[in-house]
Amino acid sequence: MIIIAAIVVILLTIAIVWLIDKFVPKKFKPVILIVLWVIIGYLGYITFMSVYGEIQFNKLKDKRYKVVIENLKDIRDSQLAHRSVTGQFQGNWDNLVKFIDTAEFTLTQRRDSSILDQEMTRRYGVDTYKDIVIIDTLGTVGVKDSLFGADSRYKTMMNIPVGKAGEKFELKAGLLDQNGINIPVFEVLAKKSVILDGQDKNLIAKENQVVSVDGVNGDALKVGSMEEVNTNGNWPKNYSKEQ
């Protein structure tokens, strides 16, 4: 709206300059024309800065979003590992980090086999076999080694890495009732206003209202949901190669 208004005023000012040049006496023209051209230059500068400022804002926004998304991926991987081992998601950062430090995955191997089906053998009087699946336990591997190797970034993954200093991701976990069955769910989010702290407040407010296939809809970047069984992030593919 500001850009459109500035363009309209510029066009109107140019029209006024033309009218002055055509109808105003020569002795008044120089001063009036100088003032009007200064106004045109100022409005042109405002228009340019409005466009340029939004372009710069979008570049910074994309850069910050990508950094935040990397943290959200680490958090999601950690939560999925926690559910795999304990059957639940974790709603406390300290407990989640402690889990990564100490928990282990059990390594198993699945193989097909067959055994004598004694009931069918008795019924038909001939050896009858049935197929079974055997799961062998091969050993264990640390969750930390499996997810992060020698990298210790999981110890700070709860901190929002850009924007307002000292802020943490909001973390929730619990159970969702679906047809009488309690299903574990979790949600982790960072408000856009925190991620984009220090930028133009009007552009942040505009970003909070985004509804787009190529944008992050809503007022936050998040992964998971407390309202549905969903462990995906709300960012589009252009921000991340994998969802």
Which pLDDT tens digit goes with each residue over 196-223? Answer: 999 999 999 999 998 888 889 999 999 9
Same domain assignment for residues 165 and 190: yes
What's the pLDDT band for 7 if we cut at 50, 70, 90?
low
What's the pLDDT band for 114 if we cut at 50, 70, 90?
confident
Candidate from 18-32, 66-80, 173-187 with smallest mean pLDDT: 18-32
Bigger pLDDT: 14 vs 195 = 195
Structure confidence at residue 4 (pLDDT) = 64
Determine whether 136 is exposed, middle or buried from the number of CB atoms within 10 Å of its CB (0-12, 13-18, 19+).
Answer: exposed
Same domain assignment for residues 87 and 130: yes
Residue 240's contacts (CB-CB under 8 Å, 6 or more residues apart) are 66, 69, 73, 233
Question: Domain span at residue 39?
Answer: 2-52
Please determine, for residue 28, whether its predicted confidence score (pLDDT) is greater than 50.
Answer: yes
Question: Structural domain tally of the chain?
Answer: 2
* pTM score above 0.75: no
**Helix, strand, coil distribution of the chain in percent, nearest 5:** 50, 25, 30
Q: Cα–Cα–Cα angle for 93, 196, 96, nearest 5°?
A: 10
Bigger pLDDT: 128 vs 232 = 232
State mean pLDDT over 22-40. Answer: 71
Same domain assignment for residues 94 and 195: yes
Same domain assignment for residues 30 and 63: no
Q: Are the C-beta atoms of 68 and 241 separated by less than 8 Å?
A: no
Strand partners, 114: 131
Closest CA to 193 of 184, 181, 202: 202
Q: At what angle do helices 29-86 and 2-23 cross, to 10 degrees?
A: 170
Same domain assignment for residues 48 and 64: no
Please determine, for residue 17, whether its predicted confidence score (pLDDT) is greater than 70.
Answer: no
Same domain assignment for residues 121 and 215: yes
